[in-house]
Amino acid sequence: MLSSQSRLPLAYMHVPKTAGTSFTRGLIKSLRPRHCVGGFDRALFGGFNDFHELSPSSMRYIYLKPDEIPPKTDFLAGHFSLSTIDARMPSARRMTIMREPFSRLLSHWIFWRSGAARSEDRNDWERRLSSAHAPLLDFLNEPKVSCQTDNVFARMLLWPDVPTDEFFDEADDDRILALCLERLQRFEFVGLVEDPKIWGKLGAWVGKRVVPLREKVTSPVPEQHRGVLAEYMSAAAVDALRWRSRIDNRLWREIGKRAAPELDLATVCARSIEVTVARSSALLSGGSGKAPAVVSEKPAGREAVQSPAGAKDYAFTAMLRRPIRLGASSALARLVKHAASGAHHPVRQAQEVARGRMRFLPLRAGWILRLARSRYRSRRSTA
């Protein structure tokens, strides 16, 4: 058995909103590195250059040049691009973990929106952050935050050879994908957040058990920025979410085929989006992100869906009743159906299975089935 120190140095390219905090904490507890460094390089700041305007407490975690990272670092785990890792830790073992891109981007908007209210005239970066207070579609179409919204996984692989405060050109998609796949070969470990075996695979790679350490980093949205998610999830906003994650989506599927060939990626994608939409809806309305929307048994017209805050969430149901341009993917149709119905909730799932109306089950739902069978048998016995 190798010692913990022999598994180091290790560099983890943490893409925002991919459960990176949990993975980092688990690895630190398992490997016990002597010098762990987290933070940011310039990759996620786009064209912003006025770093002197940021507070000293913020600048403690921002490394403008690779050589600013301490030379004794044996575990680099943060929002650092591949080029920074290569420049500062060329001999490190590299790893990264990817999340379904549509879900990641929606979660990112909620995360920024849930931040404390910011003064819009404090500095340029604060103004960029405040763009998340705008409707979802406006946020996705804002070039100044393209560094954080436009195919972020691809950007972190390719930075600094990416557009600054501009979106990727569709004509370059195939070239960008090829470059990303080439650079992914430099990583010894690449996985998917949605893989049920990800923690075991990570432990096998480092040669030591890694215990999941969950940490909630997204708070409910402040009252002044709350709303009903369905009002922001217009057809145009949904198309924009898909468009801003189109290259990352292709990367996610390629990684899935290699790292988790046993998974049905279409089902995993649908489930991921479904859960993220439901959780985002709760956070946006001021909830904890754990409770699903409250839904009537048989939706009818504009009285179909109620959010936890009591506001009408009709747009989800309306989406179900008209064709949506999804290309070859049916994931969004599934996500809307189940997010609107609250079917991701265990009790709701049991009820639906017992009534014979549940056609799509999430992963690891054996106990739900047992509960459903019990309820079904009790009904039969009393009938």
**Which tokens belong to 245?**
């994650």
| Cβ count near 379 (within 10 Å) | 11
Residue 312 has pLDDT above 50, yes or no: no
| Alpha carbon distance 202, 197 (integer Å) | 9
**Per-residue pLDDT band at 314 (split at 50, 70, 90):** very low
Distance from first CA to last CA of the chain, Å, rounded? 61
More confident residue, 376 or 212: 212
**Per-residue pLDDT band at 370 (split at 50, 70, 90):** low
Report yes or no: 333 and 269 within 8 Å, Cβ to Cβ: no
Nearest CA to 357 out of 307, 308, 297 is that of: 297
| Alpha carbon distance 11, 91 (integer Å) | 9
What pLDDT was estimated at residue 218? 79
**Which tokens belong to 155?**
């950007």
**Per-residue pLDDT band at 219 (split at 50, 70, 90):** confident
From the number of C-beta atoms within 10 Å of its C-beta (0-12, 13-18, 19+), residue 37 rates as buried
Minimum mean pLDDT range among 95-99, 287-291, 367-371: 367-371
Residue 213 C-beta-side C-alpha neighbours within 13 Å: 14
| Alpha carbon distance 152, 247 (integer Å) | 9
**Per-residue pLDDT band at 340 (split at 50, 70, 90):** very low
Residue 93 has pLDDT above 90, yes or no: yes
More confident residue, 329 or 71: 71
What pLDDT was estimated at residue 286? 87
- Tens-digit pLDDT profile for residues 266-279: 999 988 998 899 89
| Alpha carbon distance 362, 349 (integer Å) | 9
Report yes or no: 73 and 37 within 8 Å, Cβ to Cβ: yes
- Tens-digit pLDDT profile for residues 18-73: 999 999 999 999 999 999 999 999 999 999 999 999 999 999 999 999 999 999 99
Residue 199 has pLDDT above 80, yes or no: yes
**Per-residue pLDDT band at 303 (split at 50, 70, 90):** very low
pLDDT average, residue stretch 125-139: 94
Predicted model pTM: 0.77
| Alpha carbon distance 383, 233 (integer Å) | 43
Token look-up 């089950």 returns 361
| Alpha carbon distance 40, 44 (integer Å) | 8
- Tens-digit pLDDT profile for residues 94-125: 999 999 999 999 999 999 999 855 555 578 99
Residue 153 has pLDDT above 90, yes or no: yes
Nearest CA to 47 out of 162, 153, 172 is that of: 162
What pLDDT was estimated at residue 294? 30
**Which tokens belong to 238?**
């949904």
What pLDDT was estimated at residue 380? 58
Cα pseudo-dihedral 10, 82, 173, 185, rounded to 10: -50
What pLDDT was estimated at residue 179? 98
